[in-house]
Amino acid sequence: VPVGVAIGRNPRAAQILQPIVQIAASVPATALFPVLLLALANVGGGLEIGSVALMMLGTMWYILFNVIAGAQAIPTELFEAAVVYQLPWWQRWRTLILPGIFPYLITGIITAVGGAWNSSIVSEYVEFQNQTAQTLGLGATISEASVRGDFPLLMAATAVMSLLVVLTNRLVWRPLYRLAETKYQLL
């Protein structure tokens, strides 16, 4: 979030860093996963850490791009007023930046969570260097059922994932999105 705000609030940084970030984001996280697994195998991290790392690699871009857009959308006049009133940096964050980027941040997180679900399917059950490694998780269940051709388990696990997504959307993301639309609109 701080990196996105820094890029979004500094036109020079945005001009230099946004193309670099866009190129980095165009590399699928799954393409980096074998390299990540090799590194973790040598250090002793394991698939559990690798799965989390892949999910983070697969989701951080959604949040970063939305935060950049949110920071760019905050009117410059509000920052000038913060300077005039001599607000310390922490108060600028609390009263201006976080409320200003909140709708964009929520949008980024909602999108990122979808990317995390997809990454979990790829990262929790892996065939690598003639070995199969898996962790406990819904993604591993879906992948293993697919490999084994266990269609009833595949359908059940996919239905559970779909139910979790719908419940999370209704109980968590919808209220936060409504809050972002009503309380944290700068325009």
Rounded to 5 degrees, what angle do the CA atoms 158, 161, 163 make? 110
Residue 56: what pLDDT?
A: 86
Assigned CATH topology for domain 2-182:
MetI-like fold (1.10.3720)
Domain boundaries of the chain, sorted by first residue: 2-182
Q: How confident is the model at residue 43 (pLDDT cuts 50, 70, 90)?
A: confident
Q: Hey, what long-range contacts does 41-50 have (CB within 8 A, 24 or more apart)?
A: 47/123, 47/124, 47/126, 47/133, 47/134, 47/135, 48/135, 50/123, 50/126
Across the chain, mean pLDDT equals 88
Percent of the chain with pLDDT over 70: 96
Contact indicator for 135, 47 with CB cutoff of 8 Å: yes
pTM above 0.85, yes or no: no
Is the per-residue pLDDT at 85 higher than 60? Answer: yes
What pLDDT, in 10s, does the model give residues 94-107? 999 999 999 999 99
